[in-house]
Amino acid sequence: MKSTSFSVFKKFFLSTGVLFVGVLFVFWQSFGVLGVNFESGKVLGLTDKLIISQERGEVEQMEEEISVVGGNARPLIIKNYLEKYKSPLLPYANLIYELSETYGVEYYWIIAIAQQESNLCKKIPVDSYNCWGYGIHSKGTLRFESYEMALKSFAEYLNREYFKKGLGTAELMMTKYCPSSNGSWAFGVNQFIEEMESGDF
């Protein structure tokens, strides 16, 4: 009789144990799918989890953008600006930044003057690679073998003939670079610089 009672109790506990484990498993899986916000104690549905995932992605993207701006965003600005205007100088975006560092000339001068003079190299004398209009006059046209050589020459020229001589604004630069202008040259250059600096392009 005792053996029979024990057997019954054993089966009962085994059945109860299996049932408990099953319920626990289902409960755990439900929380795994739904998720729990432990700060609020709220059970989160799939939609909530997707929203949270999206928000985290946006925060990570924002942190990345802040990191770029807080660090050195200039190479990216150069690339995006040249890409926006479909300039032939796009492959030389990194070189423009490097030259600006080498000669202590802000990158935007190289680009803004090219924008003012040749629509960023889209309107230049044939086979000249001269996007800045300097050395182009009635006696001839200053030509280069490539955009790379032209960029290196212009960055050095800009530093030597303008910034080292105190002509560090578009208005002062215009008096030597384009003295016949009624002010539109400086206005255009400043406008392009503002576009790059503000990112509004």
Q: Which residue has the higher pLDDT, 66 or 90?
A: 90
Give the tokens for residue 67.
């990191």
Question: For residue 8, what pLDDT is reported?
Answer: 47
Tell me what percent of the residues of the chain surpass a pLDDT of 90. Answer: 58
DSSP class of 171: H
For residue 108, pLDDT over 90 is answered with: yes
Q: Which residue has the higher pLDDT, 192 or 7?
A: 192
Please check whether residues 77 and 152 belong to one and the same domain. Answer: yes
pLDDT classification of 136: cutoffs 50, 70, 90: confident
Q: Which of 185, 197, 179, 166 is nearest to 115 (CA)?
A: 185
Please check whether residues 29 and 81 belong to one and the same domain. Answer: no
End position of a domain, from candidates 35, 69, 103:
69
Q: Where are the alpha helices (DSSP H) in the chain?
A: 2-34, 46-70, 74-84, 93-103, 107-118, 147-161, 170-177, 184-198
Please check whether residues 78 and 60 belong to one and the same domain. Answer: no
End position of a domain, from candidates 33, 52, 69:
69
Q: What is the mean pLDDT of the chain?
A: 79
Domain count within the chain:
2
Please check whether residues 149 and 77 belong to one and the same domain. Answer: yes
DSSP class of 165: G
Length of the chain counted residue by residue: 201
Domain range for 43 is 2-69
